[in-house]
Structure 1
Amino acid sequence: MEKRYLLVLDLQFFSGEKTEKATPQKRQESKRKGQVAKSPEVPAAMIMLGGIMLLNFWGGWMLDQLLAIYRINFSQYIAWEWSPINIRNLFEQMTFNAIKIVAPIMAIAMVSGFLGNYIQVGSLFTTDPLKMKLERLDPIQGAKKIFSMRALVELVKSLLKIAIIGFAAFSVLWSEKEELFLLSQKSIGYSLSFIGSLTLKMATVSAIILLCLAILDYMYQKYEFEKGIRMSKQDIKDEYKKAEGDPLIKSKIKERQRQMSMNRMIQDLPNADVLITNPTHYAIAIKYDAETMAAPMVIAMGKDHIALKIKEKAKELEIVIMENKPLARALYHQVEIGDYVPEELFLAVAEVLAYIYRLKGKIK
């Protein structure tokens, strides 16, 4: 039984089943392509709610502007003579009046739509969804999308939204049924005011319900998006290889870097004054010029087989090799190639250099 269970797990692994959460790199790549969790119901609900709030605060002013347009049309413009100049002036004046009324509605719609998208996906600008892709013209794939489970879910959502909002609007009307039946006995002004307030109330209730449904739809879209960008274990491994590089290629690059570093050290080695060794584990080449350098400098160093190569090259160049285990170990762990000898080791290195210079007869 246990072997069968392990076999099933292995089959799932090699089948590439997408069971793992998406990595940050995968999420960033999806966002660059415009693939994000977004519900179109959220901006629609916010546009509707913003429009209702605008009518609630500025509805009286907009009504006055409309009545003023009707008054001036039937009191002044109707008496004008038909001429090209008058027609042009009439067109310009009516266009300006219309823009003055419509502009606040358009502005609040644009701001509400922008906020509805921004709170879902944040700042995002990409042209990838606009690119021409031949697979989008595939009729088979198009038919699959039309008759897919997702299309069925969207249809059910739309029907439920219509049913819920319709029931809410009917409930508002039903609560005012007695007043509606008495409108025939009221004045025209009162009837228009009542119908306007009732319409605004129905729209407000519908907008609030639509906003609640939009939040639920966003949660569903978020779930579908997370499900769609899941990755298999093999996908995660491939992404790691792509981000970090193939281990084989990385090892070759490191080997190439080590070889280049070794070649540079061998080229600089003839300038060394002394080679301090461990004697088999470490090798550090020291150079010092009292006229141009403030302190001795390490120009080559290595460990194990690199140290052995440096020693062999130093023998060919007839560089003095001095065994000093503590000093070699300390230099290897504290200094990099091209660094000056630190102060705490300066005295020990100076003694070694003085001994070398005495050997070469540079100092008495």
Structure 2
Amino acid sequence: MADAQDRNLPASERKIRKAREDGQVARSRDLAHLAIVGGGGAVLVAFAPQLAEAMRKLLGTGLRFDAKMLAQPDVLTHRLAELTWAWLLILMPIGAVGIGLALASGIAAGGWNFTMKPLMPNFGKLNPLSGIGRMFSSEQFTQVGKACFLALLLGGIGAFYLKLHFGDFHDALTMPLPAALQQTANALLGGLLLLVLALVVFAVIDVPLQRFLVLKRLKMSHQEMKQEYKDAEGNVEVKAKVKARMREMAKKRMLAAVPKADLVVMNPTHYAVALKYEDGSMSAPRVVAKGADLLAMRIRDLAKEHKVPVLQLAPLARALYANTEVDQEVPARLFQAVAQVLAYVYQLRAALAGKGAMPRDLPPIVVPADMDPANKPAAAEDPDG
């Protein structure tokens, strides 16, 4: 009960969509009654001459006998079969129109929705306690009260109309059959119009009422809303573990690339960036690993272990760390600085291999000031100060 009282939040689109999949859509019986009675009546009135002629022929055929036909022992059986098929040919189109009108009214009230789930067995509905609860719910009382009021109103309209036109029906008994049928049909048509007007009023009220009741039944509590968000977005803890696992795998792949790097540029205590350049396959040097703090120390140790040169160039290390990502080429504005460092490393390797002279000390590396995070822009002076 407390949970039902807490359901004061409107249903989400996801819950409404799931409810439609389960067959929970707005359906108006009054709109269906209006469609069948009003639409069916309109069809009968529109094709009244054709129907009257067909009925006249069937009646004439059914009442026509002669001595030759009566001499046949199974004449009544054959005549009954012929009349039955003839009546079916008349009634089947009318029935098809009624089915079409019923389907159209359902689509107009709640839209097209095809699902087999309502036909699946649900043993929970066999629970008498839950059944009693549904019987005495406010929604059920509303539906029963509306149905009783509609029945009383239609019955009252019909009785009042018959009382006013009792003379017309009485006079029809003294008329020839065609005239009697015409007068009776006209009298019934007037009554049908009154009933249709009453059904129009009820349908105008019932269609939005059914939509309101469906949305009210689907209202959600704060806990249900949170659970739906978790189901839609995924459990936060699980997602955090997945992200941590992905970061760990990326870290392992990145560290595996350090031994193949050409050099590592470091800020002595904070940043380390490993660079690699392959002439012919790369258009520019590429960052194969980078890290800060403990990860930077790990990159440095791994580089020294595999004899990869490690250079202490704080401004360049900070600029590369701040402006590049792993497996990304060095920005064009840092080409000159990186090229100077690579040239120095290549000369150093050649000298150590006995293929050249030992290079001089590395000249000062110039890094654009705006690419070094250590160069914070100075605060603008107050013009009034």
Where on the TM-score scale, by shorter chain, does this alignment land: which range? 0.7 to 0.9
The 2-side partners of 1:109 and 1:325 are apart by 85
**CA shift at 1:18, angstroms?**
1.5
Give CA deviations for 1:139-189 in whole Å, capped at 9, x if unaligned. 333333334444433332122101222333345445656655655665543
Q: Note the aligned Cα RMSD (angstroms).
A: 3.4
Alpha-carbon distance change, 37 to 244 in structure 1, aligned in 2, over 3 angstroms: same
Could you tell me which of 46, 56, 61 is aligned with 2:50? 61
Residue type of the alignment partner of 1:108: V
Could you tell me which of 87, 98, 105 is aligned with 1:98? 87
The 2-side partners of 1:182 and 1:87 are apart by 37
**CA shift at 1:298, angstroms?**
2.9
The 2-side partners of 1:330 and 1:165 are apart by 85
Aligned residue in 1 for 2:10: 21
Residue type of the alignment partner of 1:293: M
Aligned residue in 2 for 1:161: 150
Residue type of the alignment partner of 1:225: V
Alpha-carbon distance change, 303 to 208 in structure 1, aligned in 2, over 3 angstroms: farther
1:239 correspondence with 2:228:
yes
Quick check: 1:16–1:233 contact (8 Å CA) kept in 2? no
The 1-side partners of 2:105 and 2:159 are apart by 28
Alignment of 1:22-37 (within 5 A): 22-37=11-26
**CA shift at 1:344, angstroms?**
5.1
Alpha-carbon distance change, 183 to 131 in structure 1, aligned in 2, over 3 angstroms: closer
**CA shift at 1:267, angstroms?**
1.4
**CA shift at 1:280, angstroms?**
5.0
Could you tell me which of 229, 253, 269 is aligned with 1:264? 253
Between 302-311 and 78-87, the greater mean CA deviation after superposition: 78-87
The 2-side partners of 1:208 and 1:324 are apart by 90
Alpha-carbon distance change, 360 to 124 in structure 1, aligned in 2, over 3 angstroms: same
**CA shift at 1:237, angstroms?**
1.6
- Whose Rg is larger? 2
1:251 correspondence with 2:240:
yes
Could you tell me which of 135, 138, 148 is aligned with 2:127? 138
The 1-side partners of 2:74 and 2:337 are apart by 105
Q: Report sequence identity in percent.
A: 28
Could you tell me which of 315, 325, 343 is aligned with 2:304? 315
The 1-side partners of 2:112 and 2:311 are apart by 65
Structure 1 unaligned residues grouped into runs of 5+: 1-11
Aligned residue in 2 for 1:7: none
The 2-side partners of 1:187 and 1:338 are apart by 100
Give CA deviations for 1:90-146 in whole Å, capped at 9, x if unaligned. 73x545533331232122212211111112222222222222222222233333333
**CA shift at 1:261, angstroms?**
0.6
The 2-side partners of 1:35 and 1:280 are apart by 64
Alpha-carbon distance change, 151 to 121 in structure 1, aligned in 2, over 3 angstroms: closer
Higher helix share: 1
Report the count of equivalent residues: 351
Quick check: 1:39–1:214 contact (8 Å CA) kept in 2? yes
Could you tell me which of 166, 186, 204 is aligned with 2:193? 204
Could you tell me which of 60, 63, 84 is aligned with 1:71? 60
TM-score, normalising length from structure 1? 0.81
Residue type of the alignment partner of 1:216: I
Could you tell me which of 108, 112, 115 is aligned with 1:119? 108
Residue type of the alignment partner of 1:132: P
Quick check: 2:62–2:83 contact (8 Å CA) kept in 1? no
1:192 correspondence with 2:181:
yes
Quick check: 1:276–1:322 contact (8 Å CA) kept in 2? yes
Aligned residue in 2 for 1:3: none
Structure 2 unaligned residues grouped into runs of 5+: 357-385
Q: Partner of 2:9: helix, strand, or coil?
A: coil
The 1-side partners of 2:262 and 2:113 are apart by 62
Q: Partner of 1:36: helix, strand, or coil?
A: coil
Q: Partner of 1:298: helix, strand, or coil?
A: strand
**CA shift at 1:217, angstroms?**
2.1
Aligned residue in 2 for 1:226: 215
Residue type of the alignment partner of 1:357: Y
Quick check: 1:20–1:233 contact (8 Å CA) kept in 2? yes
The 1-side partners of 2:294 and 2:99 are apart by 71
Q: Which has the higher contact order (CA 8 A, sep 6+)?
A: 1
1:152 correspondence with 2:138:
no
Alpha-carbon distance change, 190 to 74 in structure 1, aligned in 2, over 3 angstroms: closer
Between 278-287 and 239-248, the greater mean CA deviation after superposition: 278-287
Could you tell me which of 22, 30, 36 is aligned with 1:41? 30
Alpha-carbon distance change, 178 to 71 in structure 1, aligned in 2, over 3 angstroms: closer
Residue type of the alignment partner of 1:112: L
The 2-side partners of 1:82 and 1:300 are apart by 105
**CA shift at 1:227, angstroms?**
2.1
